[in-house]
Structure 1
Amino acid sequence: MFISAPGCVFMTYLGFMIAIGSETVYVVPHSRIEGAFALFITAVLYAIFFAISYNSEYSQVQRQQNVDEWINSQEIREAEMELQNLPKQQPTEQQSEDFQ
C-alpha cells in the first residue's frame, strides 16, 4: 500500500511530462505517445493494487472489531445467565433483625 500510492503519483507525473513533450524527460520522439500511454497504464495498475491492499488491510480491522464485539456480547450473556441461576437465599433471623 505504501509503495503503490507514491508509485501511482510518480507514474502519472512521468506520463504527463512525456505526453506534453517536456525536455526534462527524454524519450525517443517516435515513441513518446506509446511511452506516455504505458506510464498511464502502470499508474492505473498501481492504483488498483493500492485499492486492493487498502481494502485488505482495513477490512481485516473491521472483522477483528466484529469478533471482539461478539466475544463481549457472549461474556455479557454468560454473566446474565449465571446471575439468573443463582439460588435465592432466604434472609436469616440475624439479617432480618438488622433490617429492622
Structure 2
Amino acid sequence: MVSCAQYCMFISAPGCVFMTYLGFMIAIGSETVYVVPHSRVEGSFALFITAVLYAIFFAISYNNEYSQVQRQQNVDEWINSQAIREAEMEMQDLPKEKEQEQQQLVEQQ
C-alpha cells in the first residue's frame, strides 16, 4: 500500500522537473510558452521558486519515508534483543531451580 510520503515523493519529483523546464523555457523567451513580455523574469523566477519548493517537499517526504523504515528496524532489533535477554535470564535461572528441587527432595527424604 502506498503511504502519504510515497505519494508526495511521486508528485513532487515530476513537479520539480516540470516547473524547472517551464522556468527555463520562459527565461530564454521560447515561443512555445507565451508570457507577457514585461513579466517574463517574474514568471520564470516564480516557476524556479516553485521547483525549489517541490524539491524541498520531495526531500522531506523521502527523509520521512526512509527514517520511518530505520525506526521500525531499530524497534525490531530492540524487541529481538529483549527476547534474547529474557531467554538468557531463564537459562540462568534453570540451574538454581534444579538445585532447589534437589534440596527439597533431600529434605523430604
- Aligned-pair CA distance for 1:63: 0.4
Matches for 1:49-64 after TM superposition, within 5 Å: 49-64=57-72
What does residue 12 of structure 1 align with? 20
The aligned counterpart of 1:46 is 54
- Note the aligned Cα RMSD (angstroms): 1.4
List runs of 5+ in structure 2 lacking aligned partners.
1-8, 100-109
**Structure with more helix by fraction:** 2
State the TM-score, normalizing by the size of structure 1: 0.85
- TM score, norm. by length of structure 2: 0.78
Overall identity of the aligned pairs, in %: 91
Residues 28-43 of structure 1: pairs in structure 2 closer than 5 A? 28-43=36-51
Aligned length: 90
Runs of 5+ in structure 1 lacking a partner?
Answer: 91-100
Alignment-derived partner of residue 76 in structure 1: 84
